């Protein structure tokens, strides 16, 4: 019998910033976090960067991918308290979709994080 262990960090959505002892937060905008909380913030651009050709130089990973990558590296380097989950607090539907799309479409993030059920 094979046993499968998914070691990726679970990410779940919340409407507000709940106090969770083993969590880090991914926050769109500047919502407050509990004292001493591990947080990564992102803001969506007003318009899509680059040009229509979407070449590699003009298609950056995006603000969500950058924020989650910074959070993961800080955890690995021991720069922040160890966390077992990420709680995403988007400001709007566009933020929620940007987070889901980053996890779905970015292979590097998909190897580090998974949407919690």
Range 93-113 average pLDDT:
95
Minimum mean pLDDT among 1-5, 29-33, 53-57: which range?
A: 53-57
Q: Are 58 and 49 in contact (CB under 8 A)?
A: yes
Q: Can you give the pLDDT at residue 5?
A: 85
Domain locations in the chain as residue ranges = 9-37+58-115
CA separation for the pair 25, 115 (Å, rounded): 14
pLDDT digits over 38-92, tens only? 999 999 987 655 555 555 555 568 999 999 999 999 999 999 999 999 999 999 9
Average pLDDT, the chain: 87
CA separation for the pair 111, 41 (Å, rounded): 20
pLDDT at 9 over 70: yes
C-alpha distance across the termini of the chain, in Å: 24
Q: Are 38 and 25 in contact (CB under 8 A)?
A: yes
Q: Can you give the pLDDT at residue 46?
A: 78
**Residue that wins the pLDDT comparison between 31 and 90:** 90
CA separation for the pair 99, 62 (Å, rounded): 10
36-to-21, 22, 91 alpha-carbon distances in Å: 10, 12, 21
Entry pTM: 0.83
């Amino acid at each position: 019998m094979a046993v499968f262990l998914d070691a990726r960090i679970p990410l779940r959505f919340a409407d507000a910033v709940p106090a969770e002892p083993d969590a880090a937060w991914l926050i769109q905008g500047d919502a407050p976090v509990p004292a001493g909380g591990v947080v990564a913030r992102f803001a969506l651009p007003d318009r899509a960067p680059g040009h229509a050709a979407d070449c590699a130089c003009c298609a950056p990973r995006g603000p969500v991918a950058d924020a989650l990558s910074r959070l993961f590296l800080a955890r690995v380097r021991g720069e922040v308290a160890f966390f077992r989950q990420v709680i995403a607090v988007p400001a709007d539907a566009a933020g929620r979709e940007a987070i889901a799309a980053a996890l779905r479409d970015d292979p590097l993030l998909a190897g580090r994080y998974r949407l919690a059920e």
